[in-house]
Every structure is written in structure tokens, then in C-alpha cells.
Structure 1
Amino acid sequence: MARYIKEGNTICKSNDSRATILYGDVVKLGTRVGIAASNISPGEIGSISVVGVYEMAAEKTEVFSIGDTAYLNESGNITKTKGDTIAGWIVEDKPSGTPVAIVKIG
């Protein structure tokens, strides 16, 4: 049996780092990502969006097609290279030379 808790578009996350998480920052959540829904000061709890479509910094030379799996690399950019952190999937074609990708997270 399951009991409904909430819609699930956002989750609460503690900022355990020494730096403020800024609105719009990509936040690693284990093997997934979320997007900060507000500034979160160190030691505070804030909202992280885990559903939605976002424009995210991407490896400029990579080409993406709708449906490609998007990964977050160590530089904080979207890439097609398999890694530990799945960002989501591409929802708009991206030609080489474009510095951003449109990614559906969640």
C-alpha cells in the first residue's frame, strides 16, 4: 500500500556545504539532479525542483537530438558521455556550437 504525500515537483534539501546554493543552480542528488528553486544558505533547508524543462549549460561541441539521455559532467555541463549523474533527457535538438541544451529533468 502507498500513501500520497505530495505532488513531488519539489523536495526539501539541506545545504550541507559552506557556500550558498543559488536560485537556478544545478544540484546533484545522488545519481540525479535538481534545480534550486531559491537561494539556500549553508545549514538551511530549501526547495529543489525535481521536475521541469530547463536550459542548462552544455558542452558546446556536442550535438544532441530529442530523446538523448543527458548527463551532468564534472564541469557542470550537460554531455552525452555516460556518467554517474543523470540530468534527464533532451527535449530540443542542439547543434554543435550551441552552449546550452534544453533538458527535461525528473
Structure 2
Amino acid sequence: MKGIYWQKGDTLDYTPKEAVEYGQVVDLTTRIGVAASDIAAGEQGQLHMTGVFQMDKDGSEIALGAALYYDKSGDQITTTAEGHTPAGYAAAPAAAGTGTVLVKLLG
């Protein structure tokens, strides 16, 4: 088998069943993407698949480099893997009680 270069992959085409707003986290089961713009239901748009994004988190302390997961029901980032979607890793530490963390997406 040969691999033929298709695209860089920083963004991927995505057609949602429901409208997605710019910046909204999209759960792709094995990773997340972030909407690059508003995407209407049934219309094709793009998801960012690489980069560092500031996202809401649970109240826990997070160390630089910690594995991060998307808690879809809470719509926030957590360090708890069980039942959550891999998101990436912490691009900077985040203190307990703070509301956000910098997430380096898995890509």
C-alpha cells in the first residue's frame, strides 16, 4: 500500500447533523475538534484538529503536560479518562479552582 499525500490536516471537513457554533468543541469519539466557524446543520465546514485552545475545565489542578479529556455531559475538560473523550494535553499548568486550561489538541 502507498500513502498519497492529501492535505496538511490542521483542519478537517465536517458536516454536522445539528448546527455548530464557532469555537464549539465537537466530540469525534476518539478525539475532539474545534469548529473553525459557524457550521449550519447538514452543511460542510471545518474543524481545527491541531493547535492550542483555551477551554473550560473542572475545578481540579492540572499540571503542564497532563493528559486531558472532554467531558461531554459537563461540557468541560477533565483529567479523568473513564467515560470521556481524549482531548490532548495541558499546554500550561492550571490551578485548582480556575475555570480554564490551555489544551494542545491531539491532532
Q: TM-score, normalised by structure 2?
A: 0.92
| Deviation by residue 1:49-101 (Cα, 9 ceiling, x = unmatched) | 00000000000x20000110000112110001113400100010001111001
Q: Look up the match of 1:21.
A: 20
Q: Look up the match of 1:97.
A: 97
Q: Look up the match of 1:72.
A: 70
Task: Report matched runs for 1:7-86 at 5 Å.
Answer: 7-17=8-18, 20-59=19-58, 61-73=59-71, 74-82=73-81, 83-86=83-86
Residue type at the aligned position of 2:52: V
Superposed CA RMSD in Å reads: 0.9
Q: Which whole-Å CA distance do the structure 1 matches of 2:91 and 2:63 have between them?
A: 8
Q: Percent identity?
A: 34
Please, which runs of 5 or more residues in structure 2 have no aligned partner? none
Please, which runs of 5 or more residues in structure 1 have no aligned partner? none
